[in-house]
Amino acid sequence: MPSASFLALQAFFESSPAARAATRPLGPGAEVALRLDGDEEAHFTMASGRPEIVAGPARAPDFTLRLPEQAVRRITAIQGDDVGAHGVAFFSLAVSKDPLLKIRVQLAAPTGRLLGHGYLGVLAAGGLKVGLWLLRKGIKDPRAAIDRLRGVR
């Protein structure tokens, strides 16, 4: 039986204007492995041309997100079409020290594949809000953001 986090993410990507806007730049090869509520495996895919959350492991994920239930609740509770607000919430949870909130990101794809699948466009969709937040954290360009996620300083 799918967890509350799985169902919340599924509903979010099906109905949120911000989710639709943020995922618009992604190509059909974009795939993200999701580890929900501990051990539940699911994945995000654009294979059908629209964002979907699917049960089971990803075949060739660009990266893996470990999403605690509280993090999923925070992100999916944000209302409206402001991609920047969702982006700042995501990145804030990625740097959180609280293990109940911290989103863990593990990149698997080389930088070229990430760019080819459209993730730079997702970052750009966050606009000024995401850009200023990243600058305040010392991340001056997209390459620096990718390096930071890889653990390179």
* 75-101 pLDDT, tens digit each: 999 999 999 999 999 999 999 999 999
pTM for the full model? 0.92
What is the enclosing helix (H) or strand (E) of 55?
strand 52-55
- Residue 143: the pLDDT is 76
pLDDT, position 150: 72
The rounded Cα 108 to chain-centroid distance in angstroms is: 14
Please identify which residue in the block is written with the tokens 């041309």: 49
The dihedral formed by the CA atoms of 127, 47, 114 and 15, expressed in degrees to the nearest 10? 20
DSSP-based three-state secondary structure for 33: strand
Which superfamily is assigned to 4-150 in CATH? SCP2 sterol-binding domain (3.30.1050.10)
Give dist(CA 42, CA 12) in Å, integer.
15
| pLDDT tens readout for residues 20-41 | 999 999 999 999 999 998 789 9
